[in-house]
């Protein structure tokens, strides 16, 4: 079931992001304030004639392939693997759920790490053309979430060890749960910001919003139901570690 859902989401996200087309920055003369062709959302290239400096190269086909892969991998991480891993630990208590949760989270982090590397490459590639994507909200949020995911992993390890020792949630558990919920939500929102930055079509944005939003709602419903389930009595030993996320 999860494999089919993942395949469907992958095909949707690939189709959606393939509609985007970043415009190559157009050159303008240094110090020139006018524009010959109206306004454009693409950043301009500053050209300094007579300096003999080589113009930076730009492989549009390669850039578009990297951009598409960046978007698909990040979308799969936050709108598929991370939420599915959180759902697994809630719906299938036991050792299998723990390994499913761990495996999906590692897979999601690996996808996002590659996406971050691609995003940094794209920013560095366009920087010589006068485009500053490092200060874009999409990049700032993405790098912040990436850093906090390392904290999330540490909290998860501490939670697991303390849960096995105490048999109930500790402060580390709640920190792990809520940090994860916030980071996944931010990641999904940041995907929308990335689509805005990449000029994805309105239909593509709607498709992403519907798919990612549906996954988020299902995850939250399951999380709330799990939170309100009857807790084990004080003299009962917990059946399994089912409260990681």
Assess if residue 42 is contained within a domain: no
Class of residue 114 by CB neighbours under 10 A (exposed 0-12, middle 13-18, buried 19+):
middle
Question: In angstroms, how far is the first alpha carbon of the chain from the final one?
Answer: 21
Assess if residue 32 is contained within a domain: no
Assess if residue 36 is contained within a domain: no
Q: Measured between alpha carbons, how far is 99 from 107 in angstroms, rounded to an integer?
A: 12
User: Band of the pLDDT at 226, cuts 50, 70, 90?
Assistant: confident
Assess if residue 239 is contained within a domain: no
Which pTM was predicted?
0.73
Assess if residue 177 is contained within a domain: yes
Q: How much of the chain exceeds pLDDT 70, in percent? A: 70
Assess if residue 2 is contained within a domain: no
Assess if residue 237 is contained within a domain: no
Higher pLDDT, residue 93 or 119: 119
**What's the average model confidence in pLDDT over 213-237?**
77
In tens, the pLDDT along 105-114 reads 999 999 999 9
Assess if residue 74 is contained within a domain: yes
Contacts of 192 (CB under 8 A, 6+ apart): 205, 208, 209, 212
CATH number at residue 101: 1.20.120.1770
Higher pLDDT, residue 1 or 69: 69
The number of folded domains in the chain is: 1
Q: How much of the chain exceeds pLDDT 90, in percent? A: 47
Q: Measured between alpha carbons, how far is 133 from 239 in angstroms, rounded to an integer?
A: 49
In tens, the pLDDT along 180-197 reads 999 999 999 999 999 999
DSSP-derived 3-state class of residue 245:
coil
Q: Tell me if 211 sits within 8 A of 180, measured CB to CB.
A: no
Instruction: Kindly provide the b/e burial profile for residues 192-201, where b requires at least 16 CB atoms within 10 angstroms of the residue's own CB.
Output: bbbbebbebe
Full residue range of the structural domain in which residue 218 is found: 60-228
């Amino acid at each position: 079931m999860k494999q089919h859902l993942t395949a469907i989401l992958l095909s949707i996200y690939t189709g959606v992001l393939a509609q985007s087309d970043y415009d190559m920055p157009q050159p303008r003369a240094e110090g020139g304030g006018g524009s010959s062709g109206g306004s454009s959302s693409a950043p301009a290239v500053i050209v300094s004639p007579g300096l003999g400096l080589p113009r930076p190269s730009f492989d549009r086909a390669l850039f578009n392939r990297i951009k598409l892969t960046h978007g698909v991998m990040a979308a799969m991480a936050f709108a598929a693997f991370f939420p599915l891993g959180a759902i697994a630990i809630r719906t299938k208590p036991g050792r299998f759920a723990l390994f499913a949760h761990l495996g999906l989270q590692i897979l999601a982090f690996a996808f996002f790490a590659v996406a971050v590397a691609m995003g940094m490459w794209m920013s560095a590639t366009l920087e010589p053309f006068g485009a500053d994507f490092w200060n874009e909200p999409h990049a700032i949020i993405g790098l912040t979430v990436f850093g906090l995911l390392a904290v999330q992993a540490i909290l998860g390890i501490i939670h697991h060890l303390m849960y096995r020792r105490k048999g109930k949630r500790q402060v580390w558990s709640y920190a792990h749960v809520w940090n994860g919920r916030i980071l996944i939500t931010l990641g999904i929102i940041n995907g929308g910001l990335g689509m805005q930055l990449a000029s994805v079509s309105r239909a593509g944005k709607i498709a992403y919003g519907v798919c990612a939003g549906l996954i988020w709602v299902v995850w939250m419903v399951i999380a709330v139901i799990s939170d309100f389930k009857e807790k084990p009595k004080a003299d009962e030993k917990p059946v399994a570690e089912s409260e990681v996320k």
